[in-house]
A and B are shown apart, each in its own frame.
Chain A
């Protein structure tokens, strides 16, 4: 490895897909939190909504009133990429590429997606793709060009099973899988909605249970946290909202994504939460 520490080389952007198979496990929440977290750490980041027809990332990011053109308009040549990118009002380094509400997933052509991603690669350090649920076209297009994958999993049977299917697709139906000699996609599990109390009572699988089954590295553990709903109400990625167990967990995961070694820990909302409720909150 020839690394030069004094100089930041202009590298091509890294594409990270946030995927799961199962619906409602926290992909969009995670895509918003991770992309904002990367931008908060100074990385120029764009987050793309691949859930064509069911636009929601814009609401979670709080830019729903500013959508003019979308990903599909760009793919179909009706708008330029720079016209469709929405610049976050809070973070200098953060951009959102919303999806279409009127088209369906067939509008995602492999060539079109590749063209947009290549253009983004020249501009951004990180390109975060929020996958739709399922394993159909939308999900396949979201993962196809990825360099890394974050497999969002809840500690329950159907989610773990679907994650296993998705891991299979990541290692067979993607550009990196098809290109001879290419490094495979680096896939990591992000355990979300982790409910310590229910796990303690033996009602939910533990981290170890899940990792033993899926056999891929762990990116982080995001506890079940009321901060997630509150942040989504306000259209603020959870990492940009006031500190919570969820934001701490996502910031740790982001640090790991950028190559830092951070010890696995599980923050709790209880004490800081109460403290902030009584004294800390403004606005």
Chain B
């Protein structure tokens, strides 16, 4: 009776723990502990973009979301519209998917 009441709850948080670890460890085991290439990737992106337009060195924003079957890498580049007034600043958004298997 008590087991019946308590067990589903317990397995719930323990299962969440297991799921979270499996996703994380799949990434850590696969491509080394941390994505160390990201600082370099950022430098290179900045370099390429700068060949074509003037952007600030703070302008590149990289976001990562590691998923079970897919992860996403979101790269945002912000730049001012030099022609217009600075009243409306626009952001260029570029999304890419980085495949990773669990």
A contact set with B: CB distance below 8 Å? 59, 64-70, 73, 78-80, 82-83, 100-102, 229-230, 232-235, 277-278, 281
Distance of A87 from chain B, by nearest CB (Å): 10
Find out whether the CB atom of A59 lies under 8 angstroms from the CB atom of B20: yes
Instruction: State the CA gap A70–B36 with chains docked (Å).
Output: 10
B contact set with A: CB distance below 8 Å? 5-6, 9, 13-14, 16-17, 20, 23-24, 28, 32-36, 38-39, 42, 58, 61-67
Distance of A227 from chain B, by nearest CB (Å): 10
Contacts of B63 in A (CB 8 A): 66, 68
Contacts of A64 in B (CB 8 A): 20, 24, 66
Contacts of A278 in B (CB 8 A): 5
Contacts of A59 in B (CB 8 A): 20, 24
Complex A-B: 7 CB contacts under 8 Å: A66-B65, A69-B62, A73-B39, A78-B39, A102-B32, A233-B14, A233-B17
Given contact pairs A65-B67, A69-B38, enumerate 6 new A-B contacts (beta carbons under 8 Å): A65-B65, A68-B64, A100-B34, A102-B33, A232-B17, A277-B6
Among candidates B5, B33, B36, B58, residue contacting A277 with C-beta atoms closer than 8 Å: B5
Find out whether the CB atom of B34 lies under 8 angstroms from the CB atom of A67: yes
Contacts of B34 in A (CB 8 A): 67, 70, 100-102
Find out whether the CB atom of B61 lies under 8 angstroms from the CB atom of A65: no
